[in-house]
Structure 1
Amino acid sequence: MNERTQPQFSLDAIEKENLGETVYTRLAEALSRGRFAPDARLTIRDLAQSLGTSVTPVRDAILRLIQDEALVQKSPREVHVPVITPQRYREIRQIRIKLEGLAARESVLKAGPQDIEHLRGLIERNELAIAQKDWVEALELNQTFHFALAEIADMAVLRGILNRLWLQMGPLIAESYPFGGRVMIDHHYAILKAIEAADPDAAEQAIASDIGDAGMLIFERLTARHGTGN
């Protein structure tokens, strides 16, 4: 498999039924999975062409994503992926640690054998993707693993909140993932082990370590870009 150092933007054309919601979902998934880099320039016309739609549903989806703080408007025809400040990143990271820690605790109480095997499979596939330097696949599996905890916990409201946070985090995680090495996945094993052992405290601590350790790498890149730690 060819090495890719930066996730590439590519979206499949979609059907016309429920077009507006589908376009929003497709673009939201692309953001949360890091398909767009920070400060990437997106035009409504290019997105519509890639998705095989008219500009209207894309424009509507863009407006929703601006409200979600996942995109910023630069002109009537152009939007950008935001460049998040270190201060904003620290705040989101703190929130993620609390909320994903809750998801991890609850998943321990509700996980069955199939859930555990699903998580194990995601880790194994992520290992393979990292070994092959397939960062698009690795990033998608990383996000799927994190969201799976909220799904196993059966916490739909929490999943919705995390969706919005990951819209902002996806581009940052994608930018750092190829440079993260083992730190980007090692704690997933500890999370799985805690769930198997029915230990909610260990699961919460493992997810906090996962977000915190990867967050240090992301934070270093952010401060280098902004030239400040504030």
Structure 2
Amino acid sequence: MDDGLGEIQRSATLAEQVYDRLRRGLLRGQYKPGEKITARRLARTLGVSPTPAREALTRLASEGAIEISETRSFLVPRLTRQRYLEISEIRKLLEPHAALLAAPKGGAVFAARLDKLNERMKAGNLSEDFDAALELDSEFHLMFYARAASPVLTRMIDVLWLQVGPMRTLLPHVFRKSLTGYRNHLAVIEAVRARDPQGASNAIQKDLSDGIEGLLAALDP
């Protein structure tokens, strides 16, 4: 299976590079809940030996982003409904706050970058290339939150996204084709263009609420 991560250049910090690539894949929903990840397969995909791949997987397991089964296999977690709701409530506190900080640092140029991602996401959903669209949605959010220039806040958001990123692949196709996220992003972009912190925060809050509601419909009671 091709994980779509691409090979990496050799250096003295291979384990760190593998960790960063795998982490990015989890953040962007490139892995499915319950998927098994072996050090050997990961090493083959990235063109490294199994040792740095295993080190990266172990590190992510210590952060709660990867589970280790009874047979010592590495698995992408499938969150329970209760766990997903708990994380979602925290996200509703942190991400709108990141939007408050990021919007004043926006403007027309940054808004245009977000708009380009959003239009590509729309095209992906309409053509039913849902995996690509989900990656673009993730890139939209993470790029925007990084604009807040708050490393501690960004790190906290990343930790939560590591856990929910794979779960977002369960969003029903009917929800994605409804373009609800696309329209919410338009409101975010307009607020960024106007450097309107409250408008951006409100738009992110709505986008989160809509996405969470859409995903809950696909989870077991």
Q: TM-score, normalised by structure 2?
A: 0.91
1:13 is the counterpart of 2:11 = no
2:202 matched residue in structure 1: 205
Contact kept in structure 1, 2:95 and 2:145, CA below 8 Å: yes
1:218 matched residue in structure 2: 215
Query: What per-residue deviation string (whole Å, max 9, x for no partner) do you get for residues 135-157 of structure 1?
Result: 23211211111112222221222
Q: Measure, in 2, the Cα distance between the counterparts of 1:129 and 1:8.
A: 20
Contact kept in structure 1, 2:103 and 2:195, CA below 8 Å: yes
Q: Aligned residues: percent identity?
A: 34
Runs of 4+ in 1 over 6 A off after TM superposition: none
Aligned-partner SS, 2:165:
helix
Kindly provide the amino acid, as one letter, of the partner of residue 149 in structure 1. Answer: F
Kindly provide the amino acid, as one letter, of the partner of residue 40 in structure 1. Answer: E
2:68 matched residue in structure 1: 73
Query: What per-residue deviation string (whole Å, max 9, x for no partner) do you get for residues 47-101 of structure 1?
Result: 1122221111011101111112111001465111111011111111111111110
Deviation of 1:11 (Å): 2.9
| One of 109, 130, 135 as aligned partner of 1:140 | 135
Deviation of 1:179 (Å): 3.5
Q: Measure, in 2, the Cα distance between the counterparts of 1:97 and 1:29.
A: 22
Structure 2 CA distance for partners of 1:19 and 1:177, relative to 1, 3 Å: farther
Contact kept in structure 2, 1:8 and 1:35, CA below 8 Å: no
Kindly provide the amino acid, as one letter, of the partner of residue 195 in structure 2. Answer: A
1:61 matched residue in structure 2: 56
1:41 matched residue in structure 2: 36
Deviation of 1:103 (Å): 1.2
1:51 is the counterpart of 2:57 = no
1:4 matched residue in structure 2: none
Aligned length, in residue pairs: 218
Contact kept in structure 1, 2:28 and 2:139, CA below 8 Å: no
- Counterparts of 1:175-186 in structure 2, within 5 Å, are 175-176=170-171, 178-180=173-175, 181=177, 182-186=179-183
1:115 is the counterpart of 2:115 = no
Kindly provide the amino acid, as one letter, of the partner of residue 178 in structure 1. Answer: H
Kindly provide the amino acid, as one letter, of the partner of residue 154 in structure 1. Answer: A
1:149 is the counterpart of 2:144 = yes
Q: Measure, in 2, the Cα distance between the counterparts of 1:57 and 1:143.
A: 26
Kindly provide the amino acid, as one letter, of the partner of residue 114 in structure 1. Answer: V
1:88 matched residue in structure 2: 83
